Amino acid sequence: MTDYTTNTYYNLFIRQKDNQYKIGNTTYKERVKKLNALKKAVEITYKEKIRQALYDDFKKPFTETDLTEIYPVVSEIKFVKSNLKDWMSRQKVETPMALLGSSSWYNFEPKGVCLVISPWNFPLNLTFGPLVSAIAAGNTVILKPSEMTPNISKVMAEIVKDIFEDNEVALLEGEVEVSQELLKLPFNHIFFTGSPNVGKIVMKAAAEHLTSVTLELGGKSPTIIDETANLKSTAKKIAWGKFINNGQICVSPDYLLVKESIKDNFVIELKQQVKAFYTKEASKSESYSRIVNNKHFDRLVNHLEDAKKHNATFVMGGKSKSEDNFIEPTVISNLPENASLLQDEIFGPILPIKTYKTNEEVINYINSKEKPLALYIYSKHKKTINDIIKNTRAGSTCINNNVVQYSNHNLPFGGSNNSGIGKSHGFFGFQEFSNKRSVMKQHTKGSIEFLFPPYTNLKQKIVDLTIKWF
């Protein structure tokens, strides 16, 4: 048996482990009370602190914080509250005739002690969103937000300490070493949001304890635009979906596949929309955030330099300022396939454009890469839309819009293989933090008892009839 006593967080883990059944047996009303407390903290009590912290971390505009950080958490809580009683109730199922005299059902029971490791791009949303699901399912939770956004991590730590005892929910700040140490412990479930490379590390650590995982990863989300699309509307939606949060969104359009015949007209519309959003000088726009740190800024600048080396066409943007971690909204075309922008997930305000002639060409190109977290189609042609959906694979798809599918609580959110394992949001998040425990109860003498040994010809005939008819 592994000795965990030397682990820095062992005592905290044990306190939550010892408390898991008490928390797991809480009622619907008790869980709702906790969710209401979290909602009040995010929506009212700590709202200004949240806004300021995210601005201090990467100059996130207040309105954008309200829209992409506070609203998703508050709306998730509202949705969960309105459905939680049904989710917690006994789920009856039919019992086959061969098991006559019994009844069957299953319950959603808590998984136990859970670990949530969250990223820096939407730190409040992607920390407290999974927490809502974990609370609803009746788990104890340790939260580890990203070290790259320390200001909002500090505020979230205040919120958690204000609402919860640490034997139910605890938030640990600190560098990557904190996560490494936590991953050594035998959690019952791990919810991780981040890159596929780190996701593999998390999954490997979980495998040591046969811990279940939810991995919300990323990938290169393609966006297809055909000749039937409304170019002005399409350009407006893509400009928003790509450049909000400075492009640091796992489901943002990563690259465009534009029908060759409409490329020039689309580019004109896109340039106009970006200017309408962020003016001619995005560096002076109060609606445009920044790259989170120097490391990611340098990574993106290297992409730009690589594009220049390949003589790509800078349709728009390309300028950067290291002192402010600023990169202009940038659109690039005529990239060779070996350019880094077409190989790696960009996660920044740089948008490559490729052209195509046939749907088959589009499908083959998408399928030559890992399954994306999201796939977007702008088209009015039903057959085109259906052909692309049927012949590709993706975590989610949105038609004639982008990013917004994340906001529908009735839809499962998550990837496929390299872009993720498991689903979140609403019932799917509740389910992810739960174990479906099956129960069968025998009420009367069961028919199966007539078939206990010793076996006779009569019993054989009954078995034969059972196989044939039941």
* 378-434 pLDDT per residue, tens: 999 999 999 999 999 999 999 999 999 999 999 999 999 999 999 999 999 999 999
Cβ 223 vs Cβ 396: under 8 Å: no
Statement: residue 1 has pLDDT above 80: no
Determine the angle formed by the axes of helices 28-40 and 150-163, rounding to 10 degrees: 140
Q: In one letter, which amino acid is 298?
A: D
Would you call the peptide bond into 329 cis, given omega within 30 degrees of 0 as the criterion? no
CATH topology of domain 10-217+421-436: Aldehyde Dehydrogenase; Chain A, domain 1 (3.40.605)
The string of pLDDT tens digits covering residues 89-128 is: 999 999 998 898 999 999 999 999 999 999 999 999 999 9
- pLDDT at residue 470, rounded to an integer: 85
Structure tokens at 42: 């995010």
Structure tokens at 217: 């990863």
Statement: residue 447 has pLDDT above 90: no
Supply the residues annotated as catalytic: 216, 250
CATH topology of domain 222-414: Aldehyde Dehydrogenase; Chain A, domain 2 (3.40.309)
Per the prediction, the chain carries an average pLDDT of 97
Statement: residue 140 has pLDDT above 80: yes
* Strand boundaries in 153-286, DSSP class E: 169-171, 189-193, 212-216, 222-225, 255-259
- pLDDT at residue 102, rounded to an integer: 95
- pLDDT at residue 445, rounded to an integer: 87
Q: Average pLDDT of 153-175?
A: 98
Percent of the chain with pLDDT over 90: 96
Statement: residue 436 has pLDDT above 90: yes
Tokens 């459905």, residue?
A: 83
Domain boundaries, the chain: 10-217+421-436, 222-414
Secondary structure class of 152 (helix, strand, coil) = helix
Statement: residue 65 has pLDDT above 90: yes
- pLDDT at residue 337, rounded to an integer: 96
pTM: 0.96
In 10 A of CB 323, how many CB atoms? 5
The string of pLDDT tens digits covering residues 300-343 is: 999 999 999 999 999 999 999 999 999 999 999 999 999 999 99
Cβ 39 vs Cβ 80: under 8 Å: no
Percent of the chain with pLDDT over 70: 100
Q: How far is CA 264 from CA 229, 353, 376, in A?
A: 14, 11, 20
The string of pLDDT tens digits covering residues 13-48 is: 999 999 999 999 999 999 999 999 999 999 999 999
The string of pLDDT tens digits covering residues 212-259 is: 999 999 999 999 999 999 999 999 999 999 999 999 999 999 999 999
Closest by CA to 92, choosing from 107, 102, 105, 103, is 105
- pLDDT at residue 331, rounded to an integer: 98
Cβ 12 vs Cβ 166: under 8 Å: yes
Q: In one letter, which amino acid is 156?
A: M
pLDDT band at 446 (very low <50, low <70, confident <90, very high): confident
Secondary structure class of 409 (helix, strand, coil) = coil
- pLDDT at residue 448, rounded to an integer: 86
